[in-house]
Structure 1
Amino acid sequence: MIMVYGLDKCSTCLKARKWLGKNKIEYRFVDYREHRVDAPTLKQWAKTVGGWENLVNRSGMTWRNLPTTRKAPASDPEWLLLIKEYPALVRRPVVVRGDEVSLGFTDKLFATLFGTQ
């Protein structure tokens, strides 16, 4: 089963879900503000996508509004605490298929991921 994690009202997540529906691709959506992702899963995502710096959206308003002292997590526990407090920091959507983890949405990315080109 394809899992799509994001925020219910996120415009990028809505576009991704619409694209999946239009292409008749079955998936399950999880709003990670309502259903928090556990620490081992977040750590695995970070490892799979090349680190916390890739998993966390550091160009968004949530990151920009963080106190400067919170913008330099130095360990997994610090990153996990930050995401627990601010789930909107995770790039959206997170698409999980088996061991594969993909971040974000564009028509081209999803066409490549799901072989609909």
Structure 2
Amino acid sequence: MLTIYGIKNCDTMKKALKWLTDAGIDYHFHDYKKEGVPADKLDAWLDELGWEAVINRRGTTWRKLDESTREAMDNDTAKAVILDNPSIIKRPLLDTGSERVLGFKADDYEARLK
């Protein structure tokens, strides 16, 4: 079964969840706000995708970080920042079991999941 990670009230998450439901695809939704970030998976995401992809650098959580933290960012720093601020993760993060996909584009989901 697919797992989709994110925050329930995020507009992009709502679009992705609706797309999955409308497509009849079973999934588990993991809400960072309620369940936290799975630390064991976070290491794998950072290794596979890199902190540059995992962290949303266009959001307010990124802009609120002090400049020295942003400039010193690497996978280790990113892990600590993400665990303290789960909303900094680019959403959604879809785990198909064989690959991780960041963000939502209906055409991309269609190509990967159908």
Q: Larger % of helix: which?
A: 2
Q: 1:85 to 1:33 in 2, by over 3 A?
A: same
User: Counterpart amino acid of 1:12?
Assistant: T
**1:90 partnered with 2:96:** no
Q: Counterparts of 1:61 and 1:102 in 2: how far apart (Å)?
A: 22
TM-score (norm 2): 0.91
**What is the Cα deviation at residue 38 of structure 1?**
2.8
- Percent identity, please: 33
Aligned to 1:30: 30
**1:46 partnered with 2:34:** no
CA deviation string 1:28-65 (max 9, x = no partner)? 1010122112323111012222x111111111111112
Question: Is the 1:95–1:101 contact (alpha carbons within 8 Å) kept by the matching residues of 2?
Answer: yes
Count of aligned pairs between the two proteins: 114
**What is the Cα deviation at residue 69 of structure 1?**
1.7
Q: Counterparts of 2:78 and 2:55 in 1: how far apart (Å)?
A: 9
Q: 1:74 to 1:66 in 2, by over 3 A?
A: closer
TM-score (norm 1): 0.89
Unpaired runs of at least 5, structure 2:
none
Aligned to 1:8: 8
Q: Counterparts of 1:74 and 1:63 in 2: how far apart (Å)?
A: 11
Question: Is the 2:6–2:93 contact (alpha carbons within 8 Å) kept by the matching residues of 1?
Answer: yes
Q: Counterparts of 2:73 and 2:60 in 1: how far apart (Å)?
A: 21
SS at match of 2:52: helix
Question: Is the 2:46–2:75 contact (alpha carbons within 8 Å) kept by the matching residues of 1?
Answer: no
SS at match of 1:3: strand
**What is the Cα deviation at residue 72 of structure 1?**
2.7
User: Counterpart amino acid of 2:89?
Assistant: V
**What is the Cα deviation at residue 77 of structure 1?**
3.1
SS at match of 1:5: strand
**What is the Cα deviation at residue 74 of structure 1?**
4.5
User: Counterpart amino acid of 1:36?
Assistant: G
Question: Is the 1:73–1:79 contact (alpha carbons within 8 Å) kept by the matching residues of 2?
Answer: no
**What is the Cα deviation at residue 99 of structure 1?**
2.9
Unpaired runs of at least 5, structure 1:
none
